[in-house]
A and B are shown apart, each in its own frame.
Chain A
Amino acid sequence: MRFWPRLRPRRVLWAVLPFVLPILLTSVWVAYVQLASPPPGILPGPIAVLRVPLTEADYWSSVSASIDRLLMGFILAAVTAIPVGIAVGMSQRVSEVLDPLVTSMSALSGVAWIPLALAWFGPGEKLGLFIIWNAAFFPIFISTVLGARLTPARYRQAVTLLGASRREIATSVVLPAAAPNIVGGLRTGLSFGWRALVTAELIGAAAGIGQLMIVAREFVMTNVVIAGVLTIGVIGISMDRLLFVPIERRTVGRWRPDR
């Protein structure tokens, strides 16, 4: 038995490939900073950026403010959108009638409401929550309605024959059948909510990572701005991975073995 697994070129290539582009991009960045030495405030090196979480006093409080608000607004959106979506989706008629309204409202959702929300709530916590709720609601709602509508009528008929009430049908037939769609909607909703929140923060309507970036930009602390960009990506992707990959594996993965 050999200790080292035999290196097969294809295997090695496969393992290495995902890192090629990040390494390439970072080297271009380092090379540019080293060779062109841009004036301070244009592009700091990676080290200066990576040190931001340690050196910048407001970094962690901004990050936690953003994440807290995102999770709260997102839960609020899920709790409102899923029941209403199920109710609407169970009726073909109602969902068809509502469709144009939902399309135009969803195009408007999130970011577009920031000015009106400013008039209603003023800058702060409430505005952030409202904007996330508003941005996340529609993707969740639309997918829930779709999932409910795609539930095979036979299932509902079968359970009705057994004497189930509408409520029971909603919770034990339509909801599970729509689950894969709902999970997809939640996923999109979270990423929409995150985007909208960042925008609200960039306008200075709520405290958080976006506000930290826009303030840092005014003080020409470009390393903080770039650290903010990377942080937004890391939070976005880890939220998605931590929350949804396990859920999706358990729902979509189990029920739709073809994907």
Chain B
Amino acid sequence: MTRRTRPLVRAAIPFVCLLGIWYSVELLFDPGRTTLASPQAVTVEIGELIREGTLPAAIAESLGRLLPATVIAVVAGGPTGLLIGLSSNANRMVEPTLRFLNAVSGVAWLPILITWVGFGELTIILIVVYTALFPMVFNTSVAITSVPPAYVEAVKTLGAGRLRRLREVYLPGALPGIISGLRSGVAYGWRALIAAEYVVGGGGLGLVVLEARTAGLVERVMAGMIVMAFLWLVIDRLILKAVEEHFTTRWGLSV
């Protein structure tokens, strides 16, 4: 085993075990096709979904919502977090309201948004933005406040202005925190996306799974869930983690 393949093999062990348990439960108890589909049936179903084009289209649709929503959440949440991290007055003014809104949770707005905006793309994207926004804001503001004041003072004595302090002390110092805010924002947004697709029913992976459930196709439900998990693993491990590592190593910081 080479050094590169070893972690992959190790990571596969629990999945193989889970597969084994699943297979034997199916075999021993035979819970019936409406309750639990066999691993083979689910594999065949995934192949079928890919072949008929449902799956690629649904994935494209779901990711096509997650991406713009993430961008909006970062663009709106980053500066807000920055502001409330830098100014204790702004923090005092905004934070309690934001905490409350965060507790309301995106999905709770679904019924009213459906009334206002309708069953559509915009409703789903708004819910995802709403959900991803708060981790972004809170993580950014915490990251800014935890930049050691000594650094700021040091640069100040050297004559750095506000902008320079922001660019050369606060932002680099807070970057790991901001990125981890992004990471959990996307994670929460992903859950909200699936929830919104269930409730609104506007296409995407969520709708594929929910429709399969209505039609009683358990193998399709499970296929959809496995795709969701796999897709998340790819997003989190290959994209978000890489971004996180890139920034933390680049700035010479370790988490």
List the interface of chain A (C-beta within 8 A of B).
13-14, 17-18, 20-22, 25, 41-42, 96-101, 103-105, 107-108, 110-116, 118-120, 191, 194-196, 198-199, 202-203, 210, 213-214, 216-217, 220, 222, 225-226, 228-230, 232-234, 236-237, 240
A196: which B residues are within 8 A, CB to CB?
195
Partner-contacting stretch, out of B109-117, B165-173, B244-252: B109-117
Residue of B whose beta carbon sits closest to that of A220 = B115
Interface presence of B101 (CB below 8 A): yes
The residue that A112 contacts in the complex, of B34, B108, B228, with Cβ under 8 A, is B228
Q: A21-B94, A119-B213 are in contact. Are A111 and B198 (CB under 8 A)?
A: yes
Q: Is the CB of A107 within 8 A of B228?
A: yes
Q: Nearest chain B CB to A226's CB is how many angstroms away?
A: 6
Q: A104-B230, A108-B225, A118-B213 are in contact. Are A229 and B107 (CB under 8 A)?
A: no
Within B85-141, the residues touching A (CB, 8 Å) are 89, 92-97, 99-101, 103-105, 107-112, 114-116
Interface presence of B13 (CB below 8 A): yes
Residue of B whose beta carbon sits closest to that of A226 = B112
Residue of B whose beta carbon sits closest to that of A224 = B111
> Residues of B within 8 Å of A, CB-based: how many?
54
B100: which A residues are within 8 A, CB to CB?
233, 237
A98 to B105 alpha-carbon distance, docked (Å): 30
Q: Nearest chain B CB to A186's CB is how many angstroms away?
A: 16
A237: which B residues are within 8 A, CB to CB?
99-100, 103
Interface presence of B152 (CB below 8 A): no
B35: which A residues are within 8 A, CB to CB?
119-120
B187: which A residues are within 8 A, CB to CB?
107
A25 to B100 alpha-carbon distance, docked (Å): 13
Q: Nearest chain B CB to A84's CB is how many angstroms away?
A: 14
A69 to B43 alpha-carbon distance, docked (Å): 35
Interchain Cβ contacts within 8 Å, total number = 155
B112: which A residues are within 8 A, CB to CB?
217, 222, 225-226, 229
A114: which B residues are within 8 A, CB to CB?
198
A79 to B107 alpha-carbon distance, docked (Å): 27
User: Which of A42, A104, A194: most chain B CB closer than 10 A?
Assistant: A104
Q: Nearest chain A CB to B65's CB is how many angstroms away?
A: 15
Q: Is the CB of A97 within 8 A of B114?
A: no
User: Which of B13, B104, B233: most chain A CB closer than 10 A?
Assistant: B104
Within B32-64, the residues touching A (CB, 8 Å) are 34-35
B97: which A residues are within 8 A, CB to CB?
18, 21-22, 25
A191: which B residues are within 8 A, CB to CB?
103, 105
Q: A22-B97, A240-B103 are in contact. Are A104 and B111 (CB under 8 A)?
A: no
A107 to B233 alpha-carbon distance, docked (Å): 8
Q: Nearest chain B CB to A106's CB is how many angstroms away?
A: 9
User: Which of A13, A99, A107: most chain B CB closer than 10 A?
Assistant: A107
A100: which B residues are within 8 A, CB to CB?
11, 14-15, 233, 237
Residue of B whose beta carbon sits closest to that of A100 = B11
Interface presence of B221 (CB below 8 A): yes
